[in-house]
Chains A and B, each alone.
Chain A
Amino acid sequence: MDFTFSEQQTMFRDMVRDFAAREIAPIAAQMDREADMPETLVQKLREGGFFGLTFPEDLGGLGVDTTTYGLVVEELSAASAGVAVMICVHNSVGSYPIAMFGSDELKARVLPRMAAGDIAAFCVSEAGAGSDAAALTTAAARDGDRYLLTGSKMWVTNGSRARYYVVLARTPGSVGHDSVHAFLVERDAPGLSVAKKEDKMGLRCSDTCVIELDAVPVPAANLLGREGDGFKVAMKALDGGRIGIAFQALGIGRACLEASVRYAGQRIAFGEKLWHIPTVRDKFADMAARLHAARLTALHAAWLKDQGRPHTKEAAMAKLLATEAAGHVADEAIQIHGGFGYTKDYDVERYYRDVRVTRIYEGTSEIQRLVIARSVIKELG
């Protein structure tokens, strides 16, 4: 057991912390208010290599390991969870399916562009297919050497900024997992449109869209894996994605704890700083302990992934624990701030809204519990 970070991991974390403090934190509240992210920031993220974090160096990426990736996401998220989720989705569920299941030709053509900052998105959910991803109805009709995709995808993070979409669709009229296929679809494909941007509680600078597909032609060469691999592609991608979301939640949680300790050091009640009030100290202890436990779980899941070991259960545990811990911490952060925490003058108000979705997307807490329970029963039953 070695709990120290490598020199490279520490270096990345510190660089990103500086970058986030300089370029993101100062505009985070404004981006939330305006529900938008300036293109200048996206461009700086491109120049900083954030869109190539997990991509191999020979394809123009930075090739960082999952632990480093987690630390980077945590730092970004502590400044703006909306920025973090854009980077997360791009580096995991948006691109991982191509890296894992794409043909060599597809990888060679697309991954360098993604690494350079052509943004990727992941289209699984539909109006009637959330936790039950296999219930998706988007159709992929074979038409010679191409498929025609028709349907409507919801909750697509990066929906309007993306150049590439991983889309799950099924053989028309089929049911179940086995007839679901995964495709890479490009933004300029005819028939693909961004129908709507969601008006959300939090993560407001991240664009969450409905993507409409109207007989969108997709070359057979853009099939990821084989026909019927779609569900496997999605599940593998989500294993990695969940580690990212765990670190996103941890970043928000850390920001909450830091803001609360800072506030409590300045706020006087009953003649002393809140630091000296026992109930506030108890809150700090629980906040810090829960975040720490969740963080170790997330780091462990990242380590397993880097070792090439199975990590489905651990990734689900990391997401479950980190998102629930961060939810608790954000709630307590508001409580420590009192009435001020309920106002937009303080960042904790935004953290509280942002953190809420982490228990919902890329698998709700209930789905993580299903995944964990299934693994536990398989191991011990």
Chain B
Amino acid sequence: MNFALTEQQRMIQQAARDFAQKELAPHAARWDRDEEFPAAAVKKLGELGFLGMNVPETYGGAGFDMVSYVLAMEEISAACASTGVIMSVNNSLVCWPLETYGTEAQKQRFLVPLARGELLGAYCLSEPNAGTDAANQQTTARRDGDHWVLNGMKNFITNGAHADVLIVFAQTDPALKHKGIFAFIVETRSEGFAVISKEKKLGIRASDTAQLAFDGVRVPADQQLGADGAGFRVAMSTLDGGRIGIASQALGIAKAALEAAVAYAKTREQFGQPIAKFQAIQWKIANMATRYEASRLLTLRAAALKDQGEPYGEQAAMAKLFASEAASYIAEEAVQIFGGNGYSKEFPVERHFRDARITSIYEGTSEAQRMVIAGHRLR
């Protein structure tokens, strides 16, 4: 066992922390309030190589390992969880499947600019009637000569309103059920594509979550991603890695809430002493810190398995389940430690509390993670 970070991992962590504190933290509350997409910060993230962290340098990426990605995601999300999910989606849900399933031509054309941050990506699986039951795809793909024609609706699409490139899943033959699902690379400049609406959300308000319409969108056949009927497998394997990203986002929120709570407890005085002197507060801090550390170990373990080329789906699901629920718990306790101040938008824990809540919903609810974990253990 070696729990030490490498020199390079530490450097990446530090670079992410510096960037997050300088470019994100001062603006996060305003972006949240105004639901403002942090476009300039996202551009800078791309310049740092953080939008294609795990993509090999030959394809425009930074060529870092997954552990480094977790460390960077944590720092970015601690300052601004919205920026965290923008980054996670581009890395895990767009670059990864392109690198893994894409043809050389697809990689040159799409992966390179996405990894460099010149283009932004989104992942289109969820539909109004296909959430946890993702196999229930209603979006259709019909072959027409050397094109596919896509029709349907996708919702809860992170980066949906700002993306240039989409990974879209669609059903080619409902009789085949999930085996009829194909994956496609779709450009948002395509005719028939439209952003229908943006969600008004509880949290991660600086990240846009859009409903997208595909009305006869023609996609060249060479933009099919992966084999015929492999769409569902592409979707699910992509989410395995995505879950490490969301677990890392949850870690970041938890870290920010925990640090804020510790700092507040040491300075806030009640009953003649800092509230940190009270056992009730100490117990909270102890529980928060323990769940944070356990989340971190689970997440890093999943990342390390991926780096070693070992199966990591179950570990990623565990990391996401545990880290997301821990983040909500930690943010909730942070609000409680802050008391009335925690309910006010003048202190960041109010935002952490709202932001944390999504992490046990998207990229597979806690219930879906349990299905995955139980599926592995009962196989």
Interface residues of A (CB under 8 A from B): 125, 128-132, 135, 154-155, 198-202, 268-270, 279, 327, 331, 334-335, 338-339, 341-345, 349, 352-353, 356-357, 359-361, 364-366, 369
Sample (7) of A-B pairs whose CB atoms are under 8 Å apart: A132-B271, A135-B269, A199-B344, A269-B133, A269-B136, A342-B361, A353-B354
- At the interface, yes or no: B237 with Cβ under 8 Å from chain A? no
Q: When the two chains form their complex, are residues B344 and A344 in contact, meaning their CB atoms are under 8 A apart?
A: no
Which among B101-109, B195-203, B288-296 touches the partner chain? Answer: B195-203
B123-156 residues with Cβ-Cβ distance < 8 A to A are 126, 129, 131-133, 136, 155-156
Contact of B346 among A199, A364, A365 (CB under 8 A): A199
B-chain residues with CB within 8 Å of residue A365 when the two chains form the complex: 336
Contact of B340 with A361 in the complex, beta carbons under 8 Å: yes
* 252-276 of chain B: CB within 8 A of chain A: 269-272
Please report B residues at the A interface, Cβ cutoff 8 Å. 126, 129, 131-133, 136, 155-156, 199-203, 209, 269-272, 280, 328, 332, 335-336, 339-340, 342-346, 350, 353-354, 357-358, 360-362, 365-367, 370
* Measured CA separation A184–B129 after assembly (Å): 57
B40 → chain A closest CB, angstroms: 25
Contacts of B361 in A (CB 8 A): 334-335, 338-339, 341-342
Set of chain A residues within 8 Å of B339, measured between Cβ atoms: 130-131, 360, 364
Nearest-neighbour CB distance to chain A for B151, whole angstroms, equals: 21
Contact B133 A342 (CB under 8 A): no
Q: A132-B270, A343-B200 are contacts. A360–B357 as well, Cβ < 8 Å?
A: no
On chain A, the residues within 8 Å of B203 by CB distance are 342
- Asked if A342 and B270 make an inter-chain contact with CB atoms under 8 angstroms apart, the answer reads no
Please determine whether B350 and A201 come into contact, CB atoms closer than 8 angstroms: yes
- Supposing A279-B367, A342-B357 touch, asked if A154 and B270 sit within 8 A by C-beta, the answer is no
B94, chain A: closest CB distance, angstroms: 19
Tell me whether B336 and A359 are in contact (CB under 8 A). Answer: yes
Q: Which 5 A-B pairs have the closest CB atoms?
A: A132-B270, A344-B200, A269-B133, A199-B345, A339-B156
CA distance A360 to B133 in the complex (A): 37
How distant is the Cα of A327 from the Cα of B126 in the complex, in angstroms?
28
Q: A131-B270, A201-B350 are in contact. List 20 more A-B contacts (CB 8 A).
A: A132-B270, A132-B271, A201-B343, A268-B129, A270-B133, A270-B136, A335-B361, A339-B155, A339-B362, A343-B202, A343-B209, A344-B199, A344-B201, A357-B340, A359-B336, A360-B340, A361-B340, A364-B339, A366-B336, A369-B280
